[in-house]
Structure 1
């Protein structure tokens, strides 16, 4: 079955279900700290354990999605997410919550592995990635605005993750038993002597893929180190009220929407290297600006600009990883490596801020982003010698918010 015949919407829905957990991380961590006998640091550790479970599942399935079968693997992952997150939402026992979070994280990682493997086999992986980002941004934005009105406690965000997995389950019937490009007939024919070519044993573009997989944890860590403490920056350092900080994040939702749709509008016009390299450098400036904010103007400028740029660069990075291997192995590995950075981000930001203050934290994170901008741009330049990714968002795509706002009260409790 060709990649063109695979409907993109089930893959985008799986992408949304798999990526929702890290998007809701600040709200989830804050609710864990507020609703359970946990300190902010301990709650952050639970969030990190969740994302480590997700990353571990991704690494485990990087080259095995085709063997397990796309439909079966997706259903197993969704079932783990429903059982894990649902079970954690229904109990107040800390050990059970931790176990459920890790189990649910493994389910999210499994679902994400299936999604990115299928996206990599598409004719236009960047476009489907952008659709998935639109979906997860819309859902995360709606949940972050709705959760504060659903009462206190840790159950609401975890239940939302479980219900999302349950809602996506019917779409797995649209998945093939094996993903396009992964079927047995698509594998390389045996070489003379009965041995298969080496290309079947390891993913192509090994050096580029390894560079991308090594740099993505650092890129993701810097984003989520700021993400995890942004609420505290606004409240403690910029001396803003909770309602004002919430308004800033609400505006950032609209900016994030512009970023996601802007990535679709730009498409291949400037290749991949310029959006990734220049975008990462600009994000470094936003991180430094937001972390050093002492008033409304600087705080709003940093947070809104960051949310504008983040989804643009992320969509190109995911598309770049997908372009390196049509079987999706690099996409899964890079996504799992990114989850490691996401897991460590909030705790890293909290420790840096406690050690030297928010401005120094921002400077350190910005310097790290500038350092990794060079290797990821080099990978994009080399990959750009081939066919660039094409991103075309239909004009009638639903307007959705993007990642950048969350429950302000929960953010206070984030690590």
Structure 2
């Protein structure tokens, strides 16, 4: 079932499969070694009931949402009525079962989606690598020879879609947690403007930066899921490639690219230029200010410390030490420092918005590397933290911008996955998604 929603809908209309069969195939795949550590809890029996009901409704001629009866995974960050939300951590092993669905989960249910289970994640969503020492690390399906990271923090969500266990994976993005695993696993991942999608019923990492969103196989599939979970659906503003202007910042985002990423990015730009896309290299010096602005840990460390400080005082031994050390950075940020950070961000956003306002999107590689092997990162703290910082560098810039951003696959079939990231400012989602739809077929991997 490694296919997009549109293709599945065609097969359903033609009678080539049924929603119940799709769920049954996903359940079988979930029991294979490749799916180890993808789910923390599965609900395939309930999903099968939803799928059978959707099949019956379809046979009766009733109109159905495109997601009806199709498998969707949910990151272990969102409340599901009757289940405990652990956020990928044993710290919450005694958490009470939720009494209601998170709003985004309820909206997926209302669309008819068949929820197949809770996906694994980086503990408390605080890393872009995807390693979880408590519940195991899902292995990136892109390489059959080497066990590579899936990216994080929505690690299980990405692998669930990449393996065909789900047509979409509900996740979150605070500094890149949808786009990083999407890029490393060869998927599309869309981070909307944060305020468009409600976060009630989601365990927080950063009140300022958290975004509820999803990854899927295509931009159209991402738009479809976004239209369900957002407060108001956007209609992508699609225009011809020849009318699109892309900005390529000279600073920061193109530093330290590994050869595979550099080659894929250059090839994508060549294809876009040949299709008539106007590509302009611009100065965006504000990007180079980000390390200094966030030197004390930024919003995420400060807000995570506020959330976790009591649990850290009594249950520190249950935390992943690498996560705990990042949370601890927030302990030293005082109220005045936090206010300074808010003011610096507002000023930074205004200056960046003025520079990119005339473009349809800012383009860069989603992450500067292909997925590295898991084992060395587990063994070496210094390597882990260097890798994590590099994975988050490009994506987190657009969380800080309070913007919208999407990652598209742009690698060749014989290469490890590489993502092309298109981004813009707040509430430019319709423009950005229209641009992504127009460019997806130009840069996508050849069959």
**Would you say same fold, with TM above 0.5?**
no
TM-score, normalization: structure 2? 0.24
TM-score, normalization: structure 1? 0.26
Which structure would you say has the larger RCO, counting Cα contacts within 8 Å and 6 or more residues apart? Answer: 1
